[in-house]
Amino acid sequence: MNVPYIISMPIPPVPPHATCSEVYERFNTDTDLVAIPVVTGDKPVGLLKRIDFLIRLADRYGRPLYEKRPVAELMDPSPLIIENNVALDQLNKALIGENKDSLQAGFIVVEDGVYVGIGTAYTLLKVNMERAERRMKDLDIARMEAEAATRARTQFLANMSHELRTPLNAIIGFAEFIMSEDVRGRDIRNHRGYISDIRDSGAHLLGMINSILDLSKLEASAFVLREDYEAPRELSGQVIRMMEGMAKARGIVLEYSAAAHHYDLHADIQVVKQVLINLISNAIKFSPENSIIRVSDNLNVDGGIEFTVEDCGPGMTADVIKRVMQPFVQADSGLSRRHDGTGLGLPLVKAFVDAHGGTFSLDSRVGVGTRAKIVFPVERSIEHQATQYAVI
């Protein structure tokens, strides 16, 4: 957030007809007063500079000569005038250059031509100190974020080495066993289960690698949506059928509900399926056995298509939600964690939904469960039209 800098102090102005004796008293009373603006209405017309003004009236002939005259006779009619919203670097450059005398004598600050205050060397030093302090705070925040990202990536690499070794060892071990059986002249047709394990381990590896590549494309802005049209009911149904095996293995029931409407989703259908797969697999992974996961799609009040996945797992605190939305971070970290994965599932969901102009949110309560919700913008809701055929 850009916080505006206050480059002036609000010095009460005087009108051009004010007497020099009035201004002389003000300068004598306030020794810190650098300059006094001369204003007609709300527009500055001149500047009374302390040193120049006092020199004129300090002379034994100057006081009697000028004290009853209007200040317009002694003011600088062409002072430096600066707009209040000027960039600080631009102001510094102006005052260091040809207007350097104004740094000591003072300059007028206006907003759309209306008098605001007087700028001085003190106010300029103050705003530059404020900017330096803000930059130091920004650097501290950036440093802490960089350190956190480094820690997350280090943890990710440690986890990934474990994740990759497990299926790789399975692939190598099963393959070597089958090869040794073949060398011994034994019938390897009885080892279809090992071949299936090799396939599953390879698919697991491919899924992790694809997640990393997808995130890399998104970060490099090289991800391209391949958009098509599909009914939300069809999308949800296809994904639920794909995930039923995983759910049944843990005794989990996938309940599905859909609102009655006649709109298709205009999106990258494969990507939306991957989003739903990630959300449902996460819900299955963290839900207790023999529980229920509720999946639904709906048309919200704005006309946007939304999907929700609700589980009754352990839930998360706000801090944990914030962490798991960062790439390479998992709710339970370390090699002793209970659940496998790359820690890219939720960040990929958010990135994919963002690429569609939608929103992704998590509503979670510890000990109750988590509700994941994705909402697509209304312009991606396309009313389904029945195909019309011409009669020949």
On whether both 320 and 175 belong to a single domain, the answer is: no
Same domain, 253 and 330: yes
Same domain, 247 and 107: no
Cα distances (angstroms) measured from residue 101 to each of 58, 104, 120: 22, 6, 11
Q: In whole angstroms, what is the distance from residue 304 CA to residue 22 CA?
A: 69
Cβ(84)–Cβ(25) below 8 Å: no
d(CA 266, CA 376): 9
Q: If 0-12 CB within 10 Å is exposed, 13-18 middle and 19+ buried, where does residue 89 land?
A: exposed
The type of residue at 200 is D
- Would you say 117 and 41 are in contact if contact means Cβ atoms under 8 Å apart? no
* CA–CA gap between residue 178 and residue 284 (Å, rounded): 33
In a domain, 15, yes or no: no
Residues 30 and 94 in one domain: yes
Kindly state the tokens that stand for 340.
């496998």
Q: What is the CATH number of the domain that holds 328?
A: 3.30.565.10
- Report the predicted TM-score, pTM, of the whole model to 2 decimal places: 0.51
* Domain assignment present for 192: yes
Is 376 part of any domain?
yes
Task: State residue 293's pLDDT score.
Answer: 95
Q: Is residue 5 one of the residues assigned to a domain?
A: no
> Which CATH number goes with the domain that contains 163?
1.10.287.130
First-to-last alpha carbon distance for the chain, in angstroms, is 65
Q: Quote the domain boundaries for residue 262.
A: 228-383
130 located within any domain: no
Has residue 108 been placed in a domain? Answer: yes
C-alpha neighbours within 13 Å on the C-beta side of residue 15: 4
Q: Is residue 163, in this structure, part of any structural domain at all?
A: yes
Q: Which helix (H) or strand (E) holds 183?
A: helix 121-183
Measure the CA angle with vertex 259, ends 253 and 262; round to 5°: 130
Q: Which two tokens stand for residue 348?
A: 């990929």
CATH assignment of the domain containing 105: 3.10.580.10
**Per-residue pLDDT at 65:** 85
pLDDT, one tens digit per residue, over 361-370 is 999 999 899 9
Within this chain, do residues 357 and 379 fall inside the same structural domain, yes or no? yes
pLDDT digits (tens, 9 = 90+) for 150-196: 766 665 555 555 556 656 766 777 777 777 766 666 666 666 666 77
* Total domains, the chain: 3
In angstroms, rounded to a whole number, what is the distance separating the alpha carbons of residues 256 and 240? 8
Single residue among 151, 186, 219 that ends a domain in this structure: 219
Instruction: Please state, rounded to an integer, the average pLDDT across all residues of the chain.
Output: 81
Taking the CA of residue 40 as centre, how many other CA atoms within 13 Å lie in the half-sphere pointing to its CB?
7
Residue 337 confidence (pLDDT): 42
Task: Give the pLDDT of residue 338.
Answer: 47
The pLDDT assigned to 134 comes to: 87
Measure Cα distances from 125 to 88, 104, 145, 202, 325 in Å: 11, 12, 30, 64, 41
One domain for residues 369 and 241:
yes
Q: Based on the fold, state whether residues 283 and 352 are members of the same structural domain.
A: yes
Residues 240 and 339 in one domain: yes
CB atoms within 10 A of CB 153: 14
Helix (H/G/I), strand (E/B), else coil: 292: strand
201 & 310 share domain: no
Residues of the chain short of pLDDT 70, as ranges, are 1-4, 97, 151-167, 169-170, 181-194, 197, 200-201, 203-204, 207-208, 211-216, 218-222, 327-344, 385-392
253 plus 355 within the same structural domain? yes
CA max distance for the chain: 126
